[in-house]
Amino acid sequence: MSAVRELKAEARERVGKGGAREVRRGGRVPAVIYGGDMAGRAISLDANETRHLIFAGRFLTTVFELDVAGEKTRVIPRDYQLDPVKDTPLHVDFMRVTVGQTVAVEVPVHFVDQEASPGLKNGGTLNVVRHTIELNVPTDAIPTAIEASLKGLEIGDSVHISAVTLPAGVSAVIDRDFTIATIAVPATLGAEAEQEAADVAQASKAESEAAKTAG
C-alpha cells in the first residue's frame, strides 16, 4: 500500500497565466488544491522535487500531506501537465481527501505465475489488454499494484477482472467482467496457419480449373 508522503509547498497570491509564468521563472511549479467543500487554493512546489516525484512513478496514486507554512492538508494528485519539449512540470492539480474516503485511481497490473502457464510454455505470447485498471480505493489503502495470475492458462485463454483478487474495500470502476490479458497464438503458428489456408485455397482453385478444362 502507498504510504502518505510529506511535501512542502508555498502559497501563491498571483493566479492566471502571468502568475504561473512568474512562478516557473522562480524554479517552482504552480499548483492548486481543490475539493472537500472548500475554496480552491493556489500553491507552488519546488520544480526539481516535483519532476522527480512524477518520473519516479505512482505519482497519481500517492497521497501527500502538503505543508503550506505549517498548515497541513492531505491530498492526492489528480492531474499534471508537462512541457511537451522539456518534460518539465507545468502545473499540478491536487484534490483534498480524508481518511476512509474512496477515490478512483489507475493501478498497474503485475502478471504472475507465467512459468505455470502451459500456453506460454508452448510458445504462446502474453497479450496485455490493460496495463492499468481504474479502481475505487480507500485513500488510506491505495494498492501499489494488483496481481493477475496466469497459472493454468492455455493458448487462447484470457484473464478477466473476476479472476483477480482485489484488496478489501477495493472494486473496479467498470461494472463488467472485462479482459485484462490473453494468451495469444504464437506469431509463427499464425503465419503457418495462414500459409496452410492459402495452400488449400490454391489447390481447390487448381482442382476447379482442371475440372472445367476436362469438362
What CATH number belongs to 5-97? 2.40.240.10
Which segments of 3-92 does DSSP mark as H helices, in order?
16-25, 47-55
CA torsion sign for 42, 43, 44, 49 is negative
- Taking the chain, what is the end-to-end CA distance rounded to the nearest angstrom? 77
Q: What is the residue type of 143?
A: P
Whole-angstrom distance, CA of residue 161 vs CA of residue 156: 17
- Answer left, alpha or beta for residue 27, where phi above 0 means left and psi between -120 and 50 means alpha: left
Whole-angstrom distance, CA of residue 67 vs CA of residue 70: 6
Give the pairing of strands 38-46 and 125-128. Answer: unpaired
C-alpha cell at 59: 505519482
Q: What is the residue type of 108?
A: P
Per-residue pLDDT of the chain (215 residues; tens, 9 = 90+): 567 899 999 999 878 888 899 999 999 999 999 988 788 999 999 999 999 999 998 999 999 999 999 999 999 999 999 999 999 999 999 999 988 899 999 999 999 999 999 999 999 999 999 999 999 999 988 999 999 999 999 999 999 999 999 999 999 999 999 999 999 987 665 555 555 555 655 665 555 565 555 55
Is this model's pTM higher than 0.95 or not?
Answer: no
The full set of domain ranges for the chain reads 5-97, 103-184, 188-215
C-alpha cell at 162: 473476476
Whole-angstrom distance, CA of residue 148 vs CA of residue 159: 7
- 103-184 to CATH, choices 2.40.50.140, 2.40.50.100, 2.170.120.20, 3.40.50.720: 2.170.120.20
Strand-pair partners of 127? 182
Whole-angstrom distance, CA of residue 36 vs CA of residue 54: 24
Task: Determine contact, residues 21/80, Cβ cutoff 8 Å.
Answer: no
